[in-house]
């Protein structure tokens, strides 16, 4: 593959920007040059990596789930309630969290499919429901979350979190590239009518996509409890907007039909390094969001100008 062909994809530019950013920060802070620190950075921010991978199929389809933060809160308090009664091994916490998230996500998908309404409208409603129920459970039943073997942030090594990110990335890649569901995701994202003509069932695809998003939220809730050994209903309030930023930065086509696991991972890493680097540089927090917003505008502008350039060349070729 030629260098020119390689840089036709937006994720290639994000990858190059991530390398430049990492090298720049490493020159002023040697921690960033340490691979172990980078792994710990990924582990601490594993929720964003995993949830971004979870919403990737949805956004490729042209859908989105605004209730991700609510699902994390809901799963978290349920796990906390169970964990206050029984000592749970960490793998079992993740498994139970994944099952709860999967079922809740499929409920979102079933409602969207049944009533034939926008995913944004339905998940906006369920977001408030999840947060309301979560706060009730938290204030009424939840005590202290406990797992077998102390795994607190003080003794943090990130193995469980990093392995979870790796497994989620491989699973997402295999689903998108080698399953009928994955093919339906790209088909509906590209051309809904053509996808239906090819025999893909839209309702099934919607339920599976939202179920997978819920699964990622459930796993994330479990990892938050395992990492920090505490529960917080509002820990990931408004995470949905950060996930949109990550997936778009990772090369997602705004109108759907295209998106990659590699691009999503690189964009997650870029945002993680950027935020951490700004903290080390002691730059005020309000500048963080402004810089990320500016980057998003530049990325979108790049995509728009690229499409215009491509259309202009096609017209010139036709004439």
Per-residue confidence (pLDDT) for residue 7, from 0 to 100: 55
How confident is the chain (319 residues) per 10-residue block, as mean pLDDT?
56 84 82 82 92 96 93 92 79 93 97 92 95 88 58 58 94 96 94 91 95 97 84 86 89 81 94 82 71 75 69 57
Per-residue confidence (pLDDT) for residue 82, from 0 to 100: 83
Per-residue confidence (pLDDT) for residue 217, from 0 to 100: 97
Domain segments of the chain as ranges: 46-267, 287-319
The answer to whether 158 and 49 have CB atoms below 8 angstroms apart is no
- The pair phi, psi for residue 11, each rounded to 5°, is -65, -20
- The pair phi, psi for residue 88, each rounded to 5°, is -115, 135
Q: Which residues pair with 88 in a beta bridge?
A: 147
Per-residue confidence (pLDDT) for residue 279, from 0 to 100: 75
Residue spans of beta strands (DSSP E) within the chain: none
């Amino acid at each position: 593959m030629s260098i020119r062909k390689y840089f036709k994809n937006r994720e290639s530019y994000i990858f190059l920007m991530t390398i430049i950013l990492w090298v720049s920060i490493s020159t002023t802070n040697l921690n960033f040059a340490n691979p172990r620190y980078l792994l710990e950075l990924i582990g601490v921010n594993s929720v964003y990596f995993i949830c971004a991978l979870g919403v990737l199929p949805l956004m490729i389809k042209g859908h989105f789930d605004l209730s991700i933060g609510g699902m994390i809160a809901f799963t978290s308090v349920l796990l906390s309630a169970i964990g206050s009664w029984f000592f749970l091994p960490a793998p079992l916490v993740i498994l139970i969290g994944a099952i709860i998230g999967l079922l809740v996500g499929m409920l979102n998908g079933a409602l969207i499919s049944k009533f034939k309404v926008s995913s944004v409208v339905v998940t906006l409603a369920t977001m408030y429901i999840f947060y309301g129920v979560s706060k009730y459970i938290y204030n009424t039943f939840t005590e202290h979350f406990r797992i077998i073997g102390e795994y607190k942030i003080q003794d943090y090594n990130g193995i469980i979190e990093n392995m979870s990110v790796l497994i989620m990335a491989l699973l997402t890649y295999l689903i998108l590239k080698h399953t009928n569901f994955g093919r339906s995701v790209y088909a509906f994202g590209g051309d809904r009518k053509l996808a239906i003509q090819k025999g893909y069932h839209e309702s099934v695809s919607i339920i599976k996509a939202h179920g997978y998003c819920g699964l990622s939220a459930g796993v994330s809730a479990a990892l938050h409890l395992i990492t920090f050994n505490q529960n917080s209903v509002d820990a990931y309030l408004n995470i949905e907007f950060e996930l949109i930023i990550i997936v778009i930065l990772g090369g997602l086509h705004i109108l759907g039909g295209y998106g990659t696991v590699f691009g999503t991972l690189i964009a997650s890493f870029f945002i993680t390094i950027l935020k951490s680097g700004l903290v080390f540089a002691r730059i005020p927090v309000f500048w963080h969001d402004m810089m990320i917003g500016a980057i998003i505008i530049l990325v979108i502008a790049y995509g728009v100008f690229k499409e215009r350039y491509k259309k202009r060349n096609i017209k010139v070729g036709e004439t």
